[in-house]
Structure 1
Amino acid sequence: MRDTPIRKVVLGLLAYLDTTGYFSISDEEMRVALNVDATTYLDAKTLLQQLDPPGVGANSLQECLLLQAQRSHRSMAKFHRYSARNIDLIYSQNPEATQIAGFKQWKNDFNRSVNKGEKGIRIAAPIIKKLTPEDQKRLDTTEEKAIVGYRYIPVFDISQTSGEPVLSAKDFVKENLADHKNVTNLYNELKNYLNNNTDIKVSEKRLSELGGAKGYFQPSTNEIVIGSDEPDNALKMETLYHEYAHSQLHGLKSAFKDRPRAYQETQAEAVAYVAMQNIGVDTSNYSLGYVATWAKDTAVIHEALSEIQKVSNKVVDLSNELTEKLGLQQEKANKITEKIEDIAKEKSAYIHDYSYWFMWGGR
């Protein structure tokens, strides 16, 4: 960090951390003691809280949990296909990484090349061995292959590569993010998909009928109900993700159906947060505050992460599939519109030519 005024404030804040990494006095007391304005103080505190370990610089356990959840869930949203261990490895080596692939994958799947001189990010990859009959008997398994260890391999972030653009679900949704047009399209597409292709039924009721909730999942009927008149379409989308997560994690046949409510709510909102991050909509102001409300101790967040990741993977993959479909539909609609415009132009030109001919005595 360069020697700047804000750096001096950060260094000053370090003096107020206790042995557990919490601030020992209130924000206002520290601001006055450091003799800085509120904006500079908040900027310095935010910068400090970006340092390791996650949760450092909190004023309370609840804020510490919030910071840890924010770090974990944002990383998970970026790298939903990777294990929690590899997410930590990626983040520790490049906190700004957003899209990861191997050297050959960048070239073969994305038509991009790793820039000369780039240093790889090391992650753990399984070593898979074909099992002999003796191995199968010893391991008491009928599987033909098994993981016998791990090795570290290099991968690269998209910022370390050059080539053709890589489009994602975010590109589709952000196109009309100002009015949430595409968020609404995705909401309807996901609702229709669940109704037509799964045993889950999604319906809507007015918010006044939901007792103050934005939506709910009913395990006994396997039904999701969403507030129909929710004015914020992004929040409506987020609620559908949240309740769908409940259906996957806490349905009658789920192994986690008997988890405490705090645990269940933390899991469902974390999945919703990851899914919304994937389509380019940041709901951290709502989601992370919601998580902190329910998560009263560190075990709630940390024990839930692996279960959260499994459902997050499923939701993200489904969303990507549906947004791709919507993108193709939009492309088709654009081509139809262009064709209509071309026909209109030709007709206009024909009318213009005919009028000109008629004016000068033609028949």
Structure 2
Amino acid sequence: MRINDFHNILELIKQDVLHSEAEYLKLLKVVGNNQRYDFRSQLSIYDKNPEAIACAKFDYWRERFNRTVMRGQKGIPILEDYGTFKKVDYIFDIGQTVSRNRDVNEVNLWKFDKENHQDVLKEMIKSEGYEESKSTLENIFSLSRLYGDEKIDTLMNELRIADEDRISFTKFVRDSVSYAVASRFKLDYSIDYELLRENFQRLDSISLMSLGESVSDISGKIIDATIQKSKELELQKEVLRGKEAGYNKIKEELEEVEEYVLRRDDQGRNENGRVLRNGEYRRDNRENQGEYAKQLGGRDGLHKEVSKSDLRSDEAGVSFTERGAEQLRDVSRSIQGEEVDRTPDGHSETGDRVYEKREAEADGSLEDRGREQSTVQSNDFSFERDDDQGNSRRLRENIDVEIREAEKASFSLPENSYGQTRLTIPLTENDIDTVLINGGNHDGGRLPVIAEFSKEKTVEELGEYLKDTFKGGNGFYIDEREVSSWYSDKGIHLAYGTSAREDDTQVLNWNDAAKRINELLNSGEFATNVELFEALDYERDRISESLWYLSHDLSEEGKEQGYFELFERGGGFSEETKRLSEALKNPEYLKETIREYDRF
């Protein structure tokens, strides 16, 4: 591709983004999930593969991870600047690659752990002399100020934003940064849609580029700083664990001498006697690889008792250290559906984002984009240019005041006045059905739900399944009205407006939700005939993937036992799992697979 062609394509992409706020939010998710690339490259990723989670060049996959791009996959064009010349190159997402040999060659991601890493965000705020919040989303919003307001001021000067519009535009940019960061952290950040619409109208092709570069840079610095500090925290914990382990070992040896007891370490097989390969990559946990396979040996077989359908939803990606480096570190995987706290603007994170069906779950790209170091000195930004600059209480007061001012500005127009008064009337049955049919935030859409409800389970069992599967919240526009849902242990919280989490006015318990979904399935309203047909294939594919990883992760001892030799080899992950899925449709082959798994 020629450079001129690349620039022409970018212009078309920007016009697509400017077409609707939904596409802009979709682009922000790409920005957050691919923070290692510059905004120009992120636009290209958004156009070619918006679900991309970890991108790298063809040679990088082969040399660093012994993976190769699958046949027929198309690369994502990016413009590389080599100083003396520029050229268009291509990158590929991890989903487009497969292992070059029989080894798994898994690539792990850094993930945001809400329980542990929220302290990292607090420390980043405290280090600048300001007070942190108990809400993770509020802390993200505060970091968007700390890391971004200086750049936002420069951006507003470049775009010549009028004085009376600066408060509104500033919060719009902060929200954009927070949305991108929260997407990377798998948190549901609720955007002020009225504010979004008001400021989105200001944008054109040129200003979108300036805005995007600023948002990309600020969000990238926040994400990289969080990753770096979380690794420092992990290192400190490892040191402490090492010291504690050393102390315990000495203590045990002294007790052995005193009691004349000879203790022996059990180096035998792991739980259930499984023999798996040792090394940095292990898949010997039920919840990782055996959950689906376990169900093959159940009392009811494949169609009667199959585990959760999104076993492989946390497909691995790539982890990084700080910007400007290409070191890798194994860390834990993404957790979907975490609960999140309230957003800085007062709306719950149920998110009235009808545009999003799933969460991205990866670290962004592998490529080093040469951004600046993510740390920010305390004098880089001030919330209030007065003597109270470092006062924590002043920070919170200023945040509240500016948010109220921004909301007031965004609601001042006549066309924005609709929907500001919260409706307390209960949802209609049709609106509830819409939530049940389209909600959940789980991978696979309705397919895993259809598969689970086809197993003749009790209402109580199906209710427990829904409670475990439906996470976070959803927002919808139904007949030009905002409808929100939030999923908790109590059931599905329902409300008109942008928030349902704190509203217990109407809560549909999980058993009643299961009953209604059954009714919708029986009446043909929950899914199409095509989806009903595809549901079993979807679950069979997940089982095949689980069995593939299990069979390829055996140790030499396991291979000597001849486990899973009935599986046809050759062609790599994609071809082998496809053949296995087809083979499992044969009842005799299915029985043989169950017997083999029981033997294992």
TM-score, normalising length: structure 2 = 0.34
Matched residues in 1 for 2:236 and 2:67: separation?
31
Match of 2:250 in 1: 343
Match of 1:283 in 2: 188
Give 1:102 shift: 0.5
* Deviation per residue, 1:154-178 (Å, 9 max, x gap): 32111233354434431xx33xx3x
Give 1:282 shift: 1.3
SS in 2 for 1:340: helix
Match of 2:221 in 1: 314
Matched residues in 2 for 1:340 and 1:240: separation?
41
Match of 2:433 in 1: none
2:175 equivalent among 269, 272, 289? 269
Structure 1 position 244 matched with structure 2 position 146: yes
Match of 2:235 in 1: 328
Give 1:250 shift: 4.2
Match of 1:203 in 2: 130
CA contact (8 A) 1:169 1:323 kept: no
2:34 equivalent among 76, 79, 102? 79
Q: Can you give the 5+ residue segments of structure 1 that lack an aligned partner in the other structure? A: 1-51, 57-63, 129-144, 196-200, 205-225, 355-363
Structure 1 position 181 matched with structure 2 position 116: yes
SS in 2 for 1:310: helix
Structure 1 position 104 matched with structure 2 position 59: yes
CA contact (8 A) 2:125 2:143 kept: no
Match of 1:126 in 2: 80
Matched residues in 2 for 1:312 and 1:115: separation?
29
Matches within 5 A, 1:17-56: none
CA contact (8 A) 2:152 2:214 kept: no
Matches within 5 A, 1:166-177: 166-170=107-111, 173-174=112-113, 177=114
Q: CA RMSD in A?
A: 3.2
Q: Can you give the 5+ residue segments of structure 2 that lack an aligned partner in the other structure? A: 1-14, 262-600
Shift of the 277–344 alpha-carbon distance from structure 1 to 2, 3 Å rule, reads farther
Shift of the 54–276 alpha-carbon distance from structure 1 to 2, 3 Å rule, reads same
* Deviation per residue, 1:336-357 (Å, 9 max, x gap): 2322332333233334338xxx
* Deviation per residue, 1:16-58 (Å, 9 max, x gap): xxxxxxxxxxxxxxxxxxxxxxxxxxxxxxxxxxxx96698xx
TM-score, normalising length: structure 1 = 0.54
Shift of the 246–93 alpha-carbon distance from structure 1 to 2, 3 Å rule, reads closer
Matched residues in 1 for 2:202 and 2:106: separation?
39
Give 1:240 shift: 2.9
SS in 1 for 2:198: coil
CA contact (8 A) 1:169 1:324 kept: no
Matched residues in 1 for 2:234 and 2:172: separation?
32
Matched residues in 1 for 2:240 and 2:194: separation?
43
As a proportion of its length, which structure holds more strand? 1
SS in 2 for 1:269: helix
SS in 2 for 1:283: coil
Matched residues in 2 for 1:345 and 1:236: separation?
46
* Deviation per residue, 1:50-109 (Å, 9 max, x gap): xx96698xxxxxxx52x233201101011123343432332333232111001222234x
CA contact (8 A) 1:111 1:164 kept: yes
1:293 equivalent among 195, 219, 222? 195
As a proportion of its length, which structure holds more helix? 1
